Structure 1
Amino acid sequence: MTSRPVRIAVQIQPQHASYDQIRDALRRAEDLGVDVAFNWDHFYPLNGDPDGQHFECWTMLAAWAEQTSRIQLGALVTCNSYRNPDLLADMARTVDHISNGRLILGIGSGWFERDYEQYGFDFKTAGRRLDDLAAALPRIESRLAALHPTPVGPMPMLIGGGGEKKTLRLVAQHANIWHTFAGAEVLAHKLDVLRGHCDAIGRSVEEIEVSVGVGGRGRDGGVPGAPEVEGEPLLKLGARLFTIPTAGPEFDFATLQDWVVWRDRINA
């Protein structure tokens, strides 16, 4: 697999906290030495009090771009359904300039039904949402190329999800980073599928950075795994970007710090 370095990301969940607390968490994350800070693109909390405090994704990313100087930033992930693709491209280009080229454009097909219902978007079916994403990605790429000015540099596109027929084909066609919550056994299988899609279009799977959510399994949390236990099997398969979630209002970084120490040891 690729020799690219291990990187550590934090997902600062924009829920159950004041914006002052979120801003402070981002400052602490950059000071700790993480490589990437993600939020997410939802309108309501995903766990805890369903009507608790919550903030919008992209206006927050613009503020984060001004606040930080080193780390990359992005949504894990933007919901394709919530914005016109050309508008999203323009928003992403603008945040990229605010950050001086540090934006990761993370995108997925969407899944949280309450967001759709409360904000008036058509939830459709999972298959139709993926078809909409497939139609949107070329529009985003075309608009990014047509904007004046264009993004500061090559803007990495991250696509999240593990669907084998549609999502991983889109990853092969468009993504620089693929994000999943898979454990090692599932990741090995999904990488074989992704490799097949890449082979079909003449692209090397090595061009795609593999990103895995760790430190708590997936959207519903779980018991955090030590990086030596949870990370190293994924590392052997080719994962290089490891994302640790942290929740408000306290935004505890104890697990995140363990992964940063592990990264530094692996990369030494």
Structure 2
Amino acid sequence: MQAAAAPARRVRLGVQLAPQHAQYGTIRDTLAAIEDLGVDIAFNWDHFFPLSGDRNGAHFESWTMLAAWAEQTSRIQFGALVNCNSYRNADLQADMARTVDHISARGGDSGRFIFGTGSGWFERDYEEYGYEFGTAGSRLNALSGALPRIRARWGRLNPPPTRDIPVLIGGAGEQKTLRIVAEHADIWHSFSAPAVLEHKLGVLGDWCGQVGRDRSEIEVSVEVKARSHSDADELHALGATLFTLGISGPDYDLAPVRDWLAWRDEKNSAL
């Protein structure tokens, strides 16, 4: 008897609240608003300075904010898009993630934290906060070495995480990043256009074959801020099911969030 096909993944929408150019109260209120609207995942980012606009403008730190989000919210999943592996010891990252995950648990439910991570790239963060910038290759090697330590620490913590914390890895480099994704990720995030995504998925599939992983186990995440619904339709047809939208302070415009939620719901109504 042939096994039943796995159910199709539902389309999810993630909104990245860039923690820049806004007072924290505005960020708090916007998080509450997108949870009420039905957004699936809220993200911030792990930088120390704004990435656009006034580069010395208002900005807040990622992990302390995520702990507040864990307490503030009750349904929405959340995490950083993405944590910078360079800024914290691997075992400390594991402990922080476990703690934030527990803070977010409600009643008998599991936590809602997503451990999004990457190798880092913003040189100003490194220089001003005293981290060694190294090279793209050395930072990727450090990420590859950190992820097994993080999982091992999760297995030794008391209490352990509330569940297997999903690991999201961002990046699209074919020689190192996609191998790391194949080995460790539950979700792979990229900014790829449809033609590029098709190629990258082939590369990821090759890496999965080499490490003994089923590529379908890895959810595909893409950014839609500068894309049309038609673009998103193409990305979805290729297998993307998590679509992320970045919005920034000082005022967080929720009109595009509502638009993409309607698109998400239309896709899911066909399942």
TM-score (norm 1): 0.95
Aligned equivalent of 1:3: 8
Q: Secondary structure at the match of 1:94?
A: helix
Aligned equivalent of 1:219: none
1:139 correspondence with 2:144: no
Structure 1 unmatched runs, 5+: 217-224
1:43 correspondence with 2:48: yes
Residue 140 of structure 2 aligns with an amino acid whose one-letter code is L
1:214 correspondence with 2:218: no
Matches within 5 A, 1:240-251: 240-251=241-252
What fraction of aligned residue pairs are identical, expressed as a percent?
Answer: 61
1:263 correspondence with 2:264: yes
Deviations 1:55-111 (A, max 9, x none): 000000000001100010100000000000000100000000001110000000000
Aligned equivalent of 2:228: 226
Structure 2 CA distance for aligned equivalents of residues 208 and 2 of structure 1: 14
Paired residues of 1:16 and 1:45 also in contact (CA < 8 A): yes
Matches within 5 A, 1:93-172: 93-100=98-105, 101-172=111-182
Structure 2 CA distance for aligned equivalents of residues 44 and 115 of structure 1: 7
- 4+ residue stretches of structure 1 with deviation over 3 A? none
Structure 1 CA distance for aligned equivalents of residues 143 and 215 of structure 2: 21
Structure 1 CA distance for aligned equivalents of residues 216 and 144 of structure 2: 22
Structure 2 CA distance for aligned equivalents of residues 40 and 73 of structure 1: 11
Residue 215 of structure 2 aligns with an amino acid whose one-letter code is V
Structure 1 CA distance for aligned equivalents of residues 207 and 14 of structure 2: 27
Structure 2 unmatched runs, 5+: 1-5, 106-110
TM-score (norm 2): 0.94
Aligned residue-pair number:
259
Aligned equivalent of 1:221: none
* Deviation (angstroms), 1:201: 1.6
Paired residues of 1:2 and 1:238 also in contact (CA < 8 A): no
Residue 171 of structure 1 aligns with an amino acid whose one-letter code is V
RMSD of equivalent CA atoms? 1.0
1:194 correspondence with 2:204: yes
